[in-house]
Structure 1
Amino acid sequence: MDAEQNKGSTNPLKALERFGQSPWLDFIQRSYTADGSLRKLVDEDGLKGVTSNPAIFEKAMGYGTDYDAQMKELLARETLSAGELYEKLAVTDIQDATKVLHPVYVATKGVDGYVSLEVSPYLAFDTEGTIHEALRLWKEVDRENLMIKIPGTREGAPAVQAAIAEGVNVNVTLLFSLDAYKAVLEAYMAGLETRHAKGEDISKIASVASFFVSRIDGKIDGEIDARVAAGDKDAAALKALRGKVAIANAKLAYQHYLDVMKTERWAKLKAAGARPQRLLWASTGTKDKAFSDVLYVEELIGPETVNTIPPATFDAFRDHGTPRESLTEDVAGARHVIDEQARLGLDLGAVTEKLVVEGCAAFVDAFDKLLGAVAAKQKAILGDKLIAQEARLPGELKAAVEAAIEDWRKEGKLRRLWARDASVWTGNGEAKWLDWLDVVEDRLAHIAELENFSREVKERGFTDVLLLGMGGSSLGPEVLAETFGRQPGFPRLRVLDSTDPQEIATFEKAINLKTTLFVVSSKSGATLEPNILKAHFRVAAEKALGHAPDGHFVTVTDPGSQMEEVARKCSFWKIFHGLGGIGGRFSVLSNFGMVPAAAAGIDLRKLLGSALYAVKESAASVPPAENAALQLGVILGVAAKTFGRDKVTFVTSPAIRDLGAWLEQLLAESTGKRGRGLIPIDDETLGGPGVYGKDRVFAYVRLKGAEDAAQEAAIEALRAAGEPVVTITLTDTYQVAQAFFHWEFATAVAGSILEIDPFDQPDVEASKVETRKLTAAFNETGSLPPEAPFAKDGVFSFYADDANAKAVGDGDAVSILKAHFHRAKAGDYVALLAYIERDKTSRSWIQALRLKLRDALHVATAAEFGPRFLHSTGQAYKGGPASGVFLQVTADDAADLPVPDEKFTFGIVKAAQARGDFDVLSERGRRALRVHISGPLEAGLKALSEAIGKAV
């Protein structure tokens, strides 16, 4: 405000006091308060209050550097979301302004001197949310001359009543219609009556009702001008109403106020010390240049009112305003104006209804911009503490993604997701599976238990930790084991997720049974594999130790599970509980990941502290335009749904290579159902752009400073070729925890776009059912049900259902394999499903074979080991899009292992799992072929690779 200040009684702003009106300023900015400008307005212009709103804060915080120092200070101390950071900045501004205005509050005995802070605009149509927020902000700011702004929507009125009853000063905002004003005045009085009835003081409660003015004329006058220009027969009468309807509307609102103040009801409240709820004129800047720039100040002056004036109008009124008691002038004329607008069909009621909706939407838009600006500054300050994401997308996909992101913003889907609104997905059972959203903060709150366990493991001198689990219980811990390696002074963490007897024997040989801690990890406690693995290693450990190995076993399981019962019966050392509201593949940051991490000596505070950054960066308050995890989910969902790019190819730096296996399960099991979904492709060495079809999105997760030069070059070639590439950069290995949450959140968003429930896994259970049938049959008869190959060639026996057998013929191995793989067309994928030991040799074999298939067929390839993949990609293979061509590989076991207390062996279980898996693939009409290798495995795998090479 640079205009020359008028002094004393000649200042029109100060003169307003003679007419009972208080000038407030519709503006707040930190520098303005800090440099004395605000105090100067109080001293020289008689300023008596300040209001804020999201648009004002957006201008204040979104530009310049006023807030940078406090941002840096706050972010150095704690991990915050953009919304939490904004609130701390805003609260500081409000508290500083209330200090400047407090002398006014004292001098006026609480009539004036208020500073207003608005509840989140996102809550405009949420009564309970508004009440909670109003009470919370009132407590947070903790200043007697604060007012909490609550919108005067239908949902806002009961919130006003509740807040007043709790002793909160309220500025009711966004009032346009007389009916809405009547409702909030009623709410104010009812709130006072409720409070008084409880015997609580009502003499210190203040409230204003912010009645918006100029926006009404903007709408009405626009309609008038359009009708006049169209030659309306009532042109003269219409033109006579220009610039008058808003003021007439306000005058009638004031008349209602005067009428209520005369009632016996108000007299009782006044006798108890109640203050009137003053009308506050808002939106008093003149928009139409044809009118005086102080029109909405000069024409609305009267006792017990407030005018919250924007800065330019404040200056203008100081300069040339003419105060008079205008509010009660020509009330009959005001009634005539309102009658005339109705007669002429201008429909003030509809206009005010629309203005409420538009006003709320405008504040939401401004709040989004504000929080986006805060989030952008926050990212710049935190820098490498956050993982970084960059998306390079072809034009059409980019445009579609941007449109979808804007839809998420407009529809408030992000806030609905955090509010656990199942309608974000299918509206069924999703809400009960969202505890992963809060689990990082939950585990940090209980970090002492985990740290004590870690210390005890070290003190007991364990050399190994062997985790026994499947799927969600094993893949996350495996990432931690492979990424962090052995920590000094702590045991080495190993993860066993197989029923292959050779693999079990290999793990058993690698550990010292006397000094191994076994972590039995099973959410339900009823999963077959961890139960029989527990049985095997409990017998082995007891034999090695010479006594019951009670102190060598712990479990992670859900409360009340079958595994908890077993653990208590067997006197396990410790029982750790998961959270029932988290599915296995979303559980890595819960105890299912943190307990093995603690046993391995990984710094949990650092790990979970890193994860917390991702939680806050994905928060409901971070607008979609700045919300990287949401954007990733949108990219994946839109690419698959609209453009057929449903193969997500993971490329990971060598140091974090195992992250891909965890990502495989997360995407496949979450999205592959109802005939749609994302097919993850992990560990497929990159080729040139020419080997790929148009069905891919490439997700490159790189560790800064540990990049692989060949990967970098291949990724750059894909970008140059116009392939969609999303690059996520970690700056240290602990940020793998951020990546966990980042991808979990993105997967939930992608599930919404694909219109599926990302938290169920209906087709995983189908394979389990078939496996149970087969193992039960073995227990009854001593053998699995007989099966006959439809073709044999040397060491190879081929199996398939009738439809698949007919499709591939019954010739030699090469012709069968040729017919099978050439069923793969553009947009399909080939999956190798090997039920053999997953060791270095077999992994090298399957990788070489998949690349041979990819380069020959130009389709995506998956290379999986059973039964591990059954709890991972198996869901998508059976329930996802019918675009897979599957080759299941089984083989004779060189040796077998008994399962304690069971008739079946581990080899029998593995065989039953393979057959159950294959049966479900066949039932679902998948293109599936099984080849069984007889005799030595290594020679058989080599021969199979040669046959496939000839076939393709």
Structure 2
Amino acid sequence: MGRKPDTPLTRLAGYGQSIWLDFIRRDFIEEGRLASLVKEDALKGVTSNPAIFEQAIGQGAEYEEAVQELLCEESLPAGALYEAVAVADICQACRVLRPVFDETSGRDGYVSLEVSPYLADDAEATLHEARRLWQRVNQPNVMIKIPATEAALPAIEQAIAEGINVNITLLFAQSMYENVLEAYLRGLEARVQRGQSIAQIGSVASFFVSRIDGRIDAMIDRRIAARDPQADALKRLRGKVAIANARMAYQHYLHVVASPRWQALAEKGAQTQRLLWASTSTKDKTYRDVLYVEELIGEDTVNTVPPHTLEAFRDHGVPQARLADHVEQSRLILEDADRLGLDLPAVTTTLLGEGVAAFKAAFDGLLGAVAARREAVLGGRLMRVSLALSDELDNAVVAAGKSWTQDGKVRRLWERDASVWTNGPESKWLGWLDVVKDGMAHINAYEALQREVKERGYSDVLLLAMGGSSLGPEVLAEIFGQVSDGPKLHVLDSTDPQQVASFAKAIDPTKTLFIVSSKSGSTLEPNILFAYFWALAGTALGRKPGDRFVAVTDPGSSLETVAQDHGFAHIFHGNPEIGGRYSVLSPFGLTPAAAAGYDVRALLNCTQLMIEACDASVPPVTNPGINLGLALGVAATTFRRDKVTFVASEQIASLGAWLEQLLAESTGKSGTGLIPIDGEPLGRPDVYSDDRIFVELRLGHEPVSPGLKALREAGHPVVTLHLDTVEQIVQAFFVFEFATAVAGSVLGIDPFDQPDVEFSKVETRKLTKAYAETGRLPEEAPFAKDGNLAFYADERNHEALAGKDAKAILKAHFDRVGKNDYIGLLAYIERNKAHIAWEQTVRVALREQLHVATAAQFGPRFLHSTGQAYKGGPNSGVFLQITADDAADLSIPGYAYSFGVVKAAQARGDFDVLASRGRRALRVHITGPLQAGLDRLAQLVTEILKGA
């Protein structure tokens, strides 16, 4: 390769030592500086580590273009982006060093790339990663770095046995080095036994040096400062223990390579596993800056140095073979260290643990830098999450993030590890992590449905569903509206007969596609809605309307059987591993979206960008889903801010109803949870207690309300989701699903079950069964009547609400509201603009006077959303259930009861469960004209509050 200049660096080769560089960077390679070191300084290899790549990618402008090009080609998460960039650099460096590799017959010329340090305690995963990186780089002079942990030893042995070049890193202890060398020998012997060549396998054992002196010297200095009686003896060991430790490791190496066992392998072409001295820059400024290079020069070794140490040795290093000298003195140094209680074995054990932790932290920093660069390149294509928290809350969230990093919880979540939560059945409910992959696998079916709807000229699509099957599609319908030349999407999720009748009037059944959506197929509401609209469509068409119906359900459900028996046009199957409230991006949301003419493919592609932002490779500090989830969970558990209040831009305000279900049903159980507050108009800071965390859902760049600034200044935490376009609503769906799972972990609950929802269904079934058998619901008597208002309560609540008239009863009920409670208005009436406005007026009056959070709900809709939290969450709710006589009822074909009966049974069942859970609950029933009753009720609340 030509004659090298005569410098201290180039003279090292004469002593049998190779110099490698502990540095890599793209511009360093592309500008020819690496090639120059090979040519001028006899550089023979390169090592890399996460800290080096973090500085390069995080600060190097040259990587911006590379990341941009990669993201233009395909959507990639931070981990895949890093790997693509790193592999490209490693391949370039391998090509630069290939002549060295060829000239030395594979002894030198290597470039190292390490497996993820997160896998240090998992041999199987480490081996899988080593194989994958080896194949991806596909260069004979790449070395795969594996940390020298006890768990990784089998992976090291097997990698060698498979012919992978291995750099074993983070060696501190002689005992572990002996194990590593043994693993190398066993790996070679396994190949020999299989008749495979061992001549082209390279390996080094990276023995770390200066860190040992750093730790030992600090111990010595502390004892000297404390006037230890052995101070003089301790002082003589400063700067000596690490070199002595390395020299004794080299003696073991010499002993092994002289053994018959090694000679048998050498005869078959095996290369020795050289000791590579790492961490050889001098940390103590009182030592010579090339100390650890000069003292460890020896035959058949490697020293990997950072650029500044390389330059220092080139300038004033003194090359001389010293490694094999002073063996007895080195042994005595180690004996003295032991005698003086410096405990080198404990130090090396600690340094290994710290080394792995430091590499993990560096890898976190690296992937965080890549994630930040990815976000910058994506710009407005990616929804952003920002946190404005108090110092105390912010510090607690940061601490929780560090804990998640230390415990590897982000990766464990993506690995479906149930121990992230309660170690229960959680792993069976994480199918929503794969929604884009699943959606794209069925994209042709969605697009075919879309074409069919257009070709058949449907004017309307009516979705019949409840809870998770209805709330997500409703958000899409309200945000995206009716596309040009497409049908209008309607979502019916009520048994209120007036509401059912209103929807029947809003469509032309001869031009409507009906979608019946039910995960289990056994949910009462979609089944009776199907019966009603099947009959309505059949009458309008004069025939069986099966070709106008589509089912969305889990495989094998009763709805699938019904759809087959009735000749439905299509059946779309949901994923049994996705719960209803996590299903908006599954067939339960995508089927109605496709039918409405929305671009499902574009929505999935948009979602993928957020999935990758929350990827397992993205550390908590830059992971929007983790950050959001930790903020919500820590605010609730540590600071008792469990009222999550949504404030939204008008165009995306409907997202709040979906978020209500997600948070309430996922977290409201076991006496804890997040209580979502949607639609409550923003007030002054002084009307809020210290139990709030605000979530701003911002579309565009302007804040939703200037009042949010005042809330932040008053110390209330505000989390903002920044959406640049309405299409990013799908990113908001996913990031909140992810964050809810994270918050569930913080709360210590299973965020995928809903144990209290079924109780209301059970009570409802009892009542409807009784009606079917007797023709009437069981009798119930109000404990008080006042004009058009009748009051009902269980015995315990009745005793607390002693009063002769409506005003006294209501006052006693609201007097039970305490600090950090919330009020739930649960109205079993038609959900229309007038009734929504009524609830808003009442809730604001209550909020302004009592300074508590307010929820305004419509039944039975909320039974499948917030009902779980009201019954199973914290006992901080005070509930006013509102029922009324129906102005008109609707019969249900094939059923012995009507919609009005079902609604009444649902209201009573709901109230009974609230009472059985010890909730503060009161039911007021309006007789006669509904609006008159609502007006009187609002007036009474106003009078009570004014007199409070």
Taking structure 1 as the reference length, what is the TM-score of the superposition? 0.96
- Determine whether 1:252 maps to 2:248: yes
- Determine whether 1:819 maps to 2:815: no
Counterpart residue type for residue 329 of structure 2? G
> Out of 354, 363, 372, which is 2:368 matched to?
372
Q: Secondary structure at the match of 2:513?
A: strand
Shift, 1:445, TM fit: 4.1
Aligned residue in 2 for 1:904: 897
> Out of 157, 167, 173, which is 1:171 matched to?
167
Aligned residue in 2 for 1:283: 279
> Out of 849, 853, 866, which is 2:846 matched to?
853
Aligned residue in 1 for 2:588: 592
1:688–1:714 CA contact under 8 A, matched in 2: yes
Counterpart residue type for residue 793 of structure 1? D
Shift, 1:715, TM fit: 2.3
Aligned residue in 2 for 1:678: 674
Give me the whole-angstrom Cα distance separating, in 1, the residues matched to 2:189 and 2:594: 56
Give me the whole-angstrom Cα distance separating, in 1, the residues matched to 2:197 and 2:602: 49
Give me the whole-angstrom Cα distance separating, in 2, the residues matched to 1:723 and 1:687: 13
2:90–2:113 CA contact under 8 A, matched in 1: yes
Aligned residue in 2 for 1:894: 887
Counterpart residue type for residue 114 of structure 2? E
- Determine whether 1:184 maps to 2:180: yes
Q: Secondary structure at the match of 2:705?
A: helix
Aligned residue in 2 for 1:740: 733
- Determine whether 1:755 maps to 2:755: no
Please list, as runs of the form range in 1=range in 2, the aligned pairs for 1:604-619 lying within 5 A after superposition. 604-619=600-615
1:790–1:810 CA contact under 8 A, matched in 2: no
Aligned residue in 2 for 1:497: 493
Counterpart residue type for residue 406 of structure 1? K
Q: Secondary structure at the match of 2:43?
A: coil
Aligned residue in 2 for 1:830: 823
- Determine whether 1:553 maps to 2:558: no
> Out of 44, 47, 60, which is 1:48 matched to?
44
2:664–2:865 CA contact under 8 A, matched in 1: yes
> Out of 920, 929, 936, which is 2:922 matched to?
929
Shift, 1:929, TM fit: 0.6
> Out of 558, 564, 568, which is 1:568 matched to?
564
Shift, 1:384, TM fit: 1.2
Please list, as runs of the form range in 1=range in 2, the aligned pairs for 1:799-810 lying within 5 A after superposition. 799-810=792-803
Give me the whole-angstrom Cα distance separating, in 2, the residues matched to 1:560 and 1:69: 50
Give me the whole-angstrom Cα distance separating, in 1, the residues matched to 2:845 and 2:392: 32
> Out of 515, 538, 562, which is 1:519 matched to?
515
Q: Secondary structure at the match of 1:188?
A: helix
> Residues 773-800 of structure 1, C-alpha deviation per residue, up to 9 Å, x if partnerless?
1112222222211111101111111100
Give me the whole-angstrom Cα distance separating, in 2, the residues matched to 1:717 and 1:212: 54
The list of structure 1 runs, each at least 4 consecutive aligned residues, that deviate by more than 4 angstroms after superposition, is: none
1:9–1:15 CA contact under 8 A, matched in 2: no
> Out of 761, 775, 780, which is 1:782 matched to?
775
- Determine whether 1:450 maps to 2:446: yes
Which of 586-595 and 407-416 deviates more?
A: 407-416
Give me the whole-angstrom Cα distance separating, in 2, the residues matched to 1:279 and 1:320: 24
Give me the whole-angstrom Cα distance separating, in 2, the residues matched to 1:779 and 1:262: 92
Give me the whole-angstrom Cα distance separating, in 2, the residues matched to 1:376 and 1:512: 51
Which of 269-278 and 687-696 deviates more?
A: 269-278
Give me the whole-angstrom Cα distance separating, in 2, the residues matched to 1:201 and 1:575: 57
Aligned residue in 2 for 1:386: 382
Aligned residue in 2 for 1:228: 224
Aligned residue in 1 for 2:721: 728
Shift, 1:7, TM fit: 8.1
Aligned residue in 2 for 1:322: 318
Aligned residue in 2 for 1:3: none
Q: Secondary structure at the match of 2:318?
A: coil
Counterpart residue type for residue 625 of structure 1? V
2:4–2:39 CA contact under 8 A, matched in 1: no
Please list, as runs of the form range in 1=range in 2, the aligned pairs for 1:10-409 lying within 5 A after superposition. 10-409=6-405
Q: Secondary structure at the match of 1:712?
A: coil
> Residues 277-306 of structure 1, C-alpha deviation per residue, up to 9 Å, x if partnerless?
211111111222232222222222222221
1:828–1:883 CA contact under 8 A, matched in 2: yes
Counterpart residue type for residue 598 of structure 1? A
Shift, 1:273, TM fit: 3.0
Count of aligned positions: 944
Shift, 1:859, TM fit: 1.5
Counterpart residue type for residue 167 of structure 1? G
Shift, 1:512, TM fit: 1.5
Shift, 1:686, TM fit: 1.5
2:4–2:42 CA contact under 8 A, matched in 1: no
Counterpart residue type for residue 626 of structure 1? T
- When residues 692 and 289 of structure 1 are mapped into structure 2, their CA distance, relative to the original with a 3 A threshold, is closer
Aligned residue in 2 for 1:470: 466
Counterpart residue type for residue 552 of structure 1? R
Give me the whole-angstrom Cα distance separating, in 1, the residues matched to 2:396 and 2:888: 55
Aligned residue in 2 for 1:641: 637
Q: Secondary structure at the match of 2:337?
A: helix
Q: Secondary structure at the match of 1:575?
A: strand
Counterpart residue type for residue 932 of structure 2? A
Shift, 1:853, TM fit: 1.8
Counterpart residue type for residue 295 of structure 1? L
Q: Secondary structure at the match of 2:756?
A: helix
Give me the whole-angstrom Cα distance separating, in 1, the residues matched to 2:131 and 2:534: 55
- Determine whether 1:460 maps to 2:456: yes
Aligned residue in 2 for 1:842: 835
- Determine whether 1:879 maps to 2:876: no
Q: Secondary structure at the match of 1:48?
A: strand
**Structure 2: tracts of 5 or more residues without a match:** none
Q: Secondary structure at the match of 1:10?
A: coil
Q: Secondary structure at the match of 2:55?
A: helix
Shift, 1:9, TM fit: 6.1
Aligned residue in 1 for 2:686: 690
Taking structure 2 as the reference length, what is the TM-score of the superposition? 0.97
> Residues 716-755 of structure 1, C-alpha deviation per residue, up to 9 Å, x if partnerless?
3323333222222211110000100111111112212222
Q: Secondary structure at the match of 2:292?
A: helix
Shift, 1:228, TM fit: 2.9
2:499–2:830 CA contact under 8 A, matched in 1: yes
Q: Secondary structure at the match of 1:864?
A: strand
Shift, 1:566, TM fit: 2.2
Give me the whole-angstrom Cα distance separating, in 2, the residues matched to 1:787 and 1:198: 83
Q: Secondary structure at the match of 1:837?
A: coil
Which of 401-410 and 476-485 deviates more?
A: 401-410
> Residues 234-270 of structure 1, C-alpha deviation per residue, up to 9 Å, x if partnerless?
3333233222222222222222222222334333433
Shift, 1:764, TM fit: 0.6
Output the aligned Cα RMSD: 1.8
Give me the whole-angstrom Cα distance separating, in 1, the residues matched to 2:640 and 2:234: 56
Shift, 1:428, TM fit: 1.9
Shift, 1:478, TM fit: 0.5
Counterpart residue type for residue 413 of structure 1? K
Give me the whole-angstrom Cα distance separating, in 2, the residues matched to 1:775 and 1:191: 71
Counterpart residue type for residue 313 of structure 1? T
Shift, 1:360, TM fit: 0.9
> Residues 826-885 of structure 1, C-alpha deviation per residue, up to 9 Å, x if partnerless?
211111111111112211222122112222222111110000000000011111111111
Counterpart residue type for residue 280 of structure 2? T
- When residues 198 and 593 of structure 1 are mapped into structure 2, their CA distance, relative to the original with a 3 A threshold, is farther
> Out of 483, 487, 491, which is 2:483 matched to?
487
Counterpart residue type for residue 838 of structure 1? R
Shift, 1:629, TM fit: 2.4
2:5–2:40 CA contact under 8 A, matched in 1: no
Give me the whole-angstrom Cα distance separating, in 2, the residues matched to 1:147 and 1:408: 31
Give me the whole-angstrom Cα distance separating, in 2, the residues matched to 1:154 and 1:518: 61
Counterpart residue type for residue 416 of structure 1? R
Q: Secondary structure at the match of 1:67?
A: helix
Which of 429-438 and 584-593 deviates more?
A: 429-438
- When residues 229 and 685 of structure 1 are mapped into structure 2, their CA distance, relative to the original with a 3 A threshold, is closer
